[in-house]
Amino acid sequence: MTDSKLDIRTGQYSGVLARDTFRLRFMRRFYDPAFQAEKDALERLEAIAWDAYEGGRKAPLTVKAGPGYADPDYDLSVEWKETRDRLARAAQIQRDPHTRSRVLVVIGASRNDGTCPGEVSKTWRLAQIVRQEVEAGGMQADMLDLSLLVSEYQYLIHPCKGCVSTAMPLCHWPCSCYPNHSLGQDNDAMNDIYEQWVAAHGVILVAPTYWYQSPSPMKLMIDRLVCADGGNPDPTSTGGKDVMKAKKIEMDGWPYPKHLSGRAYGLVVHGDVAGIEEQRRALSDWLDWMGLIDAGASSRLDRYIGYYKPYATSHAELDEDKAVQEEVRNVARAVVNCVPRLRAADWTPPDAGLRNPRPK
């Protein structure tokens, strides 16, 4: 491999914002006239924010990495290191055979009754059926409601920046792209979400179909989980975000560690007109790729609820569809049956132990 093939291609970024543009965007956060009583304070805060932006202070609080890292003297983000330590503790508990089994139930719809839609989603209702079955099986159901992204103050999942496509070792596990305080990219929910995935022995995704695809909150989470599939647990090895270091590490041979592999999964995908099979297949393929294990044919469900019926009566259609409710219960039951067998190593996938000739 010649160094010319590792050339770093640049030229897309247009540079820092003009001062007046930055000020305009900062002040839009305080559009409510009630803030004008603190106009002088806002002026001072805007000046501090500009200084942080201009200086690129992504992680204003750091700590030495310490033992166990490639570069113990590297200044790691305090927030990143705290998250990494939390994930390590969660993984240790998850692997302990004496701990109670946990199933993460992901509610993938954008809709809830706390904001514009004014009504709960069918996805949320189906997730309650899943929760009941998981708990009836003696397991802990951890609920992750992604609709809170649209109804809670400053509860965000920032988009993936695509570091993995520059070089896999540049994509850190957990993600080190956020928070970026110099860009105002904070309040990111993914650190807590990573912990929920790590703690789980099984995962069940429940999602409606929006325009043939997963809803945007679900897709944001999926993209940000790329670091769980091959991500680098040691940012000091790449000097933070040193592109050339990351490229050379990958070319020297990268193992692409699958940090969430071995967990059971189930899927409930629903819709009203079209696209449910495509979304279910996409989600199955994604989870398979990450090394999760489906809990059997009954654990992967796609169904129409109120097919070509009015949206206004969709909850009534769900009330009447007892069969789909029972199928959703079966998804949960399949995962509940699978988890203890995986934990006890009583069931091994047929392809276990096969070497992937081209990992990525």
Report whether pLDDT(4) > 80: no
Among 147, 105, 94, 143, which residue's Cα sits nearest to residue 329? Answer: 105
> Which pLDDT score, from 0 to 100, does residue 200 have?
98
Taking residues 226-235, what's their average pLDDT? 98
> Which pLDDT score, from 0 to 100, does residue 360 have?
80
> Which pLDDT score, from 0 to 100, does residue 290 have?
97
> Which pLDDT score, from 0 to 100, does residue 129 have?
98
Report whether pLDDT(188) > 70: yes
**275 CB burial (10 A radius; 0-12, 13-18, 19+):** middle
pTM value > 0.85: yes
Alpha carbon distance 229, 285 (integer Å): 13
**Do the Cβ atoms of 121 and 150 come closer than 8 Å?**
no
DSSP string, 38-90: GHHHHHHHHHHHHHHHHHT-S-SSEEE--TTSSSTTSEEEHHHHHHHHHHHHH
Please tell me whether the peptide bond between 33 and the residue prior to it is cis, using omega within 30 degrees of 0.
Answer: no
Alpha carbon distance 219, 29 (integer Å): 26
Q: Of all helices (H) and strands (E), which one includes residue 105?
A: strand 102-107
297-333 pLDDT tens trace: 999 999 999 999 999 999 999 999 999 999 999 999 9
Report whether pLDDT(181) > 80: yes
Report whether pLDDT(238) > 70: yes
Tokens of 256: 């692409």
Tokens of 136: 């009836």
CA dist 113 → 64, 205, 325 (Å):
45, 20, 22
Mean pLDDT computed over every residue of the chain? 96
8-59 pLDDT tens trace: 999 999 999 999 999 999 999 999 999 999 999 999 999 999 999 999 999 9
Please tell me whether the peptide bond between 179 and the residue prior to it is cis, using omega within 30 degrees of 0.
Answer: yes
Helix axes 39-55, 19-28, angle to 10 degrees: 130
**Percentage of the chain lying above the pLDDT 70 cut:** 99
> Which pLDDT score, from 0 to 100, does residue 160 have?
98
Report whether pLDDT(128) > 80: yes
Residue type, 276: I
Report whether pLDDT(156) > 80: yes
User: Residue 1's pLDDT band (boundaries 50, 70, 90)?
Assistant: low
Residue 261 DSSP SS3: coil
Looking at residue 240, the DSSP 8-state letter turns out to be T
**196 CB burial (10 A radius; 0-12, 13-18, 19+):** middle
73-115 pLDDT tens trace: 999 999 999 999 999 999 999 999 999 999 999 999 999 999 9
> Which pLDDT score, from 0 to 100, does residue 2 have?
59
255-280 pLDDT tens trace: 999 999 999 999 999 999 999 999 99
